Structure 1
Amino acid sequence: MRFAVADVGTNSCHLLLAEARSGGYRVLDALKVRTRLGAHLDQGRLNEEGVARLVEAVSHFRDLARAAQVHELRLYATSAVREARNRDEVLARVAHATGVPLTVISGEREGQLTYLGAAHSVQFGPDNVLLDLGGGSLELARGDERGAHHVVSLPVGSERMRALLDRDPPSEGAVREVMATVRGALLPHLQAFTPGADTTVIGSSGTFEAAGALLMARAGATGSVNGFTFPVADLAALLADLRKLGPAKRARVPGLDVRRTDIIIPGLAVLVAALETLGAGRVTVSEGALREGMLVEALAQEAEWEAGLSARERSVLDVAARFHADLPHGRHVARLARDVLGRLAAHGERFPPESADLLGAAALLHEVGLAVAQSSHHKHSAYLIRHAGLRGFSPTEVELIALLARYHRKSAPKPTHPEFTSLSAERQGLVRRLAGVLRVADGLDRSHAHASAVQALTRAGRTWTLTVTGARDLDLSGARDKADVWGDAFGPLTLQRA
């Protein structure tokens, strides 16, 4: 299975495309887009150019993910979007323009995921302190080999601290002011993060990688900076040397990416101040960061989900993967459909014991026909399901699954449909009822944001009311548009937000 994850930072956005492998993953592609969102905050609001840059980056990531046949792109936004005064507006505009939901995560969650990503890139010990510097914030995390157990996020990112510098090159006093600000922010947390004699100190960020590359170049070394360990004193000496150079001269320093010439001095000042305040003697660079942590988490969730599958569910999953179905969408529709089915049963609606399995299989496979064509893909889905060799289902059950997929969109079951009319009256009724549930569940994830959830299903006479949370306008309209078969099977349906 393939995954696509991306983090939206203050300076840049990073995409990682990977494929699950036994015991880990293989990176298929990686992309970095420098959006510089921090530079496009006007009085705390992300301005039009910043939003445009973000939309362009997300659109590019979406297209790359789709080209790699990855249907779910996890996008996590950090400091710049998290703190923007117009955050909700930005999230709505990105989702509307790209069709991809952007999730804002806290600084603490950012630190936990970064710790997870770093732990899969360099060797961690029983006690570790991780520093991760972004444009807006510095995260510190402490934990063991399994994960972080204490995280703090400090608003002293490199882009934020750059605003304290007086000129370029900055004066020694301005750099001291940056370092004093960092020390002041860190002092209340010293007890939690001061390393002991056996503590491994790890640095993860573009600034750490840039510092590692510069120090390796000074030593005449080549290769990856991942796992490179150096004394904090060397980092302080590097800062002192670079502070004296103007932009043009810094750009010619061996090992320095020219795109970091404007941010390297405040970044190094933050790192030196933080490491010296902690009393760290040495630090190891990790190339693994937030996006790698996101990927490791996604892999773990996938493994946990697959571990609980029955034989017939594994067969359904195999067929879905064979035809490159949108599994995240299919799973979410299956969860919604089974939830609604259970609530109908609680109201006295009677269904055969196998109904939940049939409905879940149809939900996972309802769009496999897209592998043939967009037009009439519901009919193509039915054909593929009939001939895919599903295991664990009887021939009759396979036919019922195929018909449910056939009726997840467009026409309702009709007497002119021979496959439908060949069923017994009892099974025709079951197809109508389950198709009614499937259509509404599919409509509730029309945005493919996987955010809708059922809060309640109530009935007054013949009229039903489905109350949902997390649904977007597109999801609600999608469910309303597809509630026709439900109405014929159970009675009129009204949808509302909680």
Structure 2
Amino acid sequence: MPSSQAKNLSLIAAIDLGSNSFHMVVAKAQNGEIRILERLGEKVQLAAGIDEERRLSEESIQRGLDCLKRFAQLINGMPLGAVRIVGTNALREARNRGEFIRRAEEILGHPVEVISGREEARLIYLGVSHTLADTPGKRLVADIGGGSTEFIIGQRFEPLLRESLQMGCVSYTQRYFRDGKITPARYAQAYTAARLEIMSIEHALHRLTWDEAIGSSGTIRAIGLALKAGGHGSGEVNAEGLAWLKRKVFKLGEADKIDFEGIKPDRRAIFPAGLAILEAIFDALELQRMDHCEGALREGVLYDLLGRHHHEDVRERTLGSLMERYHVDQEQAARVERKALHAFDQVADDWDLNDGVWRELLGWAAKVHEVGLDIAHYHYHKHGAYLIEHSDLAGFSREDQQMLALLVRGHRRNIPKDKFAEFGDDGIKLIRLCVLLRFAILFHHIRGTQEMPQVTLHADGAQLDVLFPENWLEENQLTQADFAQEAEWLTRVGIVLNIH
């Protein structure tokens, strides 16, 4: 479940559950700026523990949990909403990620979000753009992770293109350099595989063009340090240096022998794969130079978190764009949202919905419940749910989107009880949100700005009582019929609706 917002933030923290390493930053938020107080990072290589059935091994899960036990000490006592934890490619791919997430949340006391590749790219760019000097030109940013590589072209603080490819230094090490042997043939296989991946986005990247290239990962930093140690630059990566470094690595022949100054021993095994991927990027995009930036995903998460608490929530902009794209009747959406939130405020205590995240989720669902109408009226709630679940929605985790899609799916006709049950304990709360959304939609079934009556809601367990003004329902028989039908629908999910 996504976290609710903390008020008056001072300390904030971000944890990046990467495919290669886990990282945490703790910072102090002051006047819209972030001052880093603490950085921690440990190599976990979660991606190396994914088997052929795409399941994390117990050993790799335990490595991750042991790391998180150490991280937990620094965030103990921090309020929900002051800490954001994001999982990337390894958790996107692992079929048993739910088991890891459950145990991780028990240790950390905060929710873990698994984000999409494009959302990861957005956050990486946010971190880079806030770390580097603000310049008017366009930037190409590449981040080689353990299981995926993200590409972003952006200008100032705005990403213009976001892509994520299935190639990373850990996954390629497992595939091409598992035993640590480095040969030209193996390297060529890794390089070719990376070139084939990049082909799918080459045209789009070249079409936008860029003024400078930035690398934001540990892989690019390590390669820059190796080049510097060999007298090829001062920490940046250049095409000539890559060619020299490749020859040097071939001569060494084994990953264990890689001992360039500044390269940590635990990075040696994944160094050849990272080098092959970076050379493929340079060749495909015709780069001559790439500079390194320390800011990346975790810094982006911090700035995104800070924005949410300063009324600059990218999620609101995302939903606004979605509504415009699918020609949502915004006046009707606003009416439904107001009524849904008013209903929520009346029953939140009785229905155990006090965490502000539930109110936020209900408001989002009210905004976008009609996006599917632009596809077709028949089964439009199903069309809308599909669009929401499968679109790239900036700012939303996968679970956010799944919950939002489920509310849209359930806002009319039959409520898919089995789908709600997949969310465990949160499933009951989601059904209750769905009931409130359906109430607001029925209340405004007759579109228009005519004055509607004040109603009172009371909730008690599985029972919801709605009190209309005396004689109003008798005088508005369509609404009366709507709620009579609704009472029948709700009995199927164990809710008793009483209309007075």
Partner of 2:17: 8
Partner of 2:90: 80
Partner of 2:130: 120
Query: Cα–Cα, structure 1 residues 445 and 173, in superposed 2: closer, same or farther, change >3 Å?
Result: farther
Partner of 1:62: 72
Partner of 2:238: 231
Counterpart of 1:190, as a letter, is: E
Unaligned regions of 5+ residues in structure 1, if any? 223-227, 307-337, 345-358, 360-433, 457-466, 481-488
Counterpart of 1:191, as a letter, is: H
CA distance in 2, matches of 1:153, 1:202: 16
Query: Cα–Cα, structure 1 residues 167 and 86, in superposed 2: closer, same or farther, change >3 Å?
Result: closer
Query: Cα–Cα, structure 1 residues 197 and 49, in superposed 2: closer, same or farther, change >3 Å?
Result: closer
Match of 1:144 among 155, 160, 163: 155
1:305 positional shift: 6.5
- Decide whether the 8 Å contact of 2:85 with 2:111 is kept in 1: yes
Match of 1:440 among 347, 350, 371: 350
Query: Cα–Cα, structure 1 residues 303 and 474, in superposed 2: closer, same or farther, change >3 Å?
Result: closer
Counterpart of 2:15, as a letter, is: A
- Decide whether the 8 Å contact of 1:9 with 1:78 is kept in 2: yes
Unaligned regions of 5+ residues in structure 2, if any? 1-8, 314-337, 367-416, 433-456, 464-492, 496-500
CA distance in 2, matches of 1:276, 1:57: 37
**DSSP-derived class of the 2:281 partner:** helix
Partner of 1:135: 146
Superposition TM-score, scaled by structure 1 size: 0.62
Superposition TM-score, scaled by structure 2 size: 0.62
- Decide whether the 8 Å contact of 2:84 with 2:305 is kept in 1: no
- Decide whether the 8 Å contact of 1:453 with 1:471 is kept in 2: no
Counterpart of 1:302, as a letter, is: H
Query: Cα–Cα, structure 1 residues 74 and 451, in superposed 2: closer, same or farther, change >3 Å?
Result: farther
CA distance in 2, matches of 1:156, 1:38: 11
- Decide whether the 8 Å contact of 1:62 with 1:100 is kept in 2: no
Partner of 2:247: 240
In the comparison of the two structures, how many residue pairs are matched?
356
1:239 positional shift: 2.7
- Decide whether the 8 Å contact of 1:65 with 1:71 is kept in 2: no
CA distance in 2, matches of 1:98, 1:51: 15
Partner of 1:209: 221
Counterpart of 2:249, as a letter, is: L
1:196 positional shift: 8.3
Match of 1:41 among 30, 50, 53: 50
Counterpart of 1:127, as a letter, is: K
Matched, 1:249 2:257: yes
Query: Cα–Cα, structure 1 residues 452 and 127, in superposed 2: closer, same or farther, change >3 Å?
Result: closer
CA distance in 2, matches of 1:218, 1:450: 57
Counterpart of 1:439, as a letter, is: D
1:109 positional shift: 0.8
Deviations 1:432-452 (A, max 9, x none): xx7xx56336x3357999987
Query: Cα–Cα, structure 1 residues 445 and 31, in superposed 2: closer, same or farther, change >3 Å?
Result: farther
Query: Cα–Cα, structure 1 residues 238 and 453, in superposed 2: closer, same or farther, change >3 Å?
Result: same
Counterpart of 1:137, as a letter, is: S
CA distance in 2, matches of 1:102, 1:497: 30
Please give the root-mean-square deviation of Cα atoms over the aligned residues, in Å: 3.9
**DSSP-derived class of the 2:23 partner:** strand
Match of 1:302 among 309, 328, 333: 309
Q: Which runs of at least 4 in structure 1 moved beyond 6 Å after TM superposition?
A: 68-71, 338-341, 446-452, 467-471, 495-498
- Decide whether the 8 Å contact of 1:247 with 1:261 is kept in 2: yes
1:120 positional shift: 1.5
Counterparts of residues 336-355 of structure 1 (less than 5 Å): 342-343=342-343
Counterpart of 2:425, as a letter, is: D
Higher relative contact order (CA 8 A, sep 6+): 2
Query: Cα–Cα, structure 1 residues 189 and 219, in superposed 2: closer, same or farther, change >3 Å?
Result: same
1:70 positional shift: 7.6
1:491 positional shift: 6.3
Matched, 1:25 2:34: yes
**DSSP-derived class of the 2:311 partner:** helix
CA distance in 2, matches of 1:215, 1:244: 16
**DSSP-derived class of the 1:303 partner:** coil
Partner of 2:382: none
Matched, 1:170 2:174: no
Match of 1:283 among 272, 285, 290: 290
Sequence identity (%)? 28
CA distance in 2, matches of 1:220, 1:274: 19
1:136 positional shift: 0.5
Counterparts of residues 397-436 of structure 1 (less than 5 Å): none
CA distance in 1, matches of 2:66, 2:48: 16
Matched, 1:274 2:184: no
- Decide whether the 8 Å contact of 1:128 with 1:142 is kept in 2: yes
Deviations 1:296-335 (A, max 9, x none): 11122222279xxxxxxxxxxxxxxxxxxxxxxxxxxxxx
- Decide whether the 8 Å contact of 1:243 with 1:265 is kept in 2: no
CA distance in 2, matches of 1:297, 1:497: 39
**DSSP-derived class of the 1:76 partner:** strand
Deviations 1:320-363 (A, max 9, x none): xxxxxxxxxxxxxxxxxx9877117xxxxxxxxxxxxxx8xxxx
Deviations 1:451-488 (A, max 9, x none): 875889xxxxxxxxxx99797527959x99xxxxxxxx
Partner of 2:196: 184
CA distance in 2, matches of 1:302, 1:492: 33
Matched, 1:473 2:485: no
Query: Cα–Cα, structure 1 residues 438 and 60, in superposed 2: closer, same or farther, change >3 Å?
Result: farther
Partner of 2:468: none
Partner of 1:417: none
